Amino acid sequence: MERALVIIKPDGMEKGIVGKVIACFEGVGLRVSGIKMARATKAVVGRHYIADRTWLMSVGKNAKAADAKRGIVTKETEMQIGMRIRSYLMNELTRRPVVAIVFEGENANSVARKMAGATEPRSADKNTVRGMYSTDTYQLADKEKRAIRNIVHVSDSPKSANREIKVWFRSSEIFSE
């Protein structure tokens, strides 16, 4: 049985949709096996969004693609953009307490990511958590020099889930079937 980590980010907390978000993931067959509310420090967010070269480059690449669609050409490298967004995430995730949840199920990571939807809420499918509960865009986040507010973080593979879960939970706080 696979585990996935979901974090209800500060914007999801602000909107008062903790129950609704959990219901979405439970609705696609995932079961809660660990849950807590936590106020993250920048150090914890830094360990969660680890400065992994591949991830930083992919964030930079996506940002450049979004810029290009708007006809904007940036001088920043993909790596520099990745680092800048990682620092935005440290501010964003420490704005207010979050809820961290370990979900279990068959293919938990791909199932949870499908339910979460695309990174940019404005272009996320309407039947996804991000599409239903946020309308944020790359453009607005850029203008306000902050991370995109897309309600949830979802781990992207069993491997990253296992690493990320250790950032937020002790093994004694997870209850498997």
Does residue number 90 form part of the binding site for ligand ADP (CB under 6 A)?
A: no
Does residue number 160 form part of the binding site for ligand ADP (CB under 6 A)?
A: no
Total residues at the site for ligand ADP (CB under 6 A)?
14
Query: In the set 6, 98, 141, 151, which binds ligand ADP (CB under 6 A)?
Result: 141
Query: In the set 21, 85, 90, 98, which binds ligand ADP (CB under 6 A)?
Result: 85
Does residue number 128 form part of the binding site for ligand ADP (CB under 6 A)?
A: no
Taking the least distance from each CB to ligand ADP, the nearer of 70 and 175 is 70
Does residue number 156 form part of the binding site for ligand ADP (CB under 6 A)?
A: yes
The DSSP code sequence of the chain is -EEEEEEE-HHHHHTT-HHHHHHHHHHTT-EEEEEEEE---HHHHHHHT---HHHHHHHHHHHHHHHHHTT----S-HHHHHHHHHHHHHHHHTSS-EEEEEEEETTHHHHHHHHH--SSGGGS-TTSHHHHH----HHHHHHTTS----SEEE-SSHHHHHHHHHHH--GGG----
Does residue number 107 form part of the binding site for ligand ADP (CB under 6 A)?
A: no
Does residue number 63 form part of the binding site for ligand ADP (CB under 6 A)?
A: yes
Taking the least distance from each CB to ligand ADP, the nearer of 148 and 165 is 148
Give me the residues that bind ligand ADP (CB under 6 A), please.
59, 62-63, 85, 88-89, 119, 138, 141, 147-148, 150, 153, 156
Which residues are designated catalytic?
Answer: 153
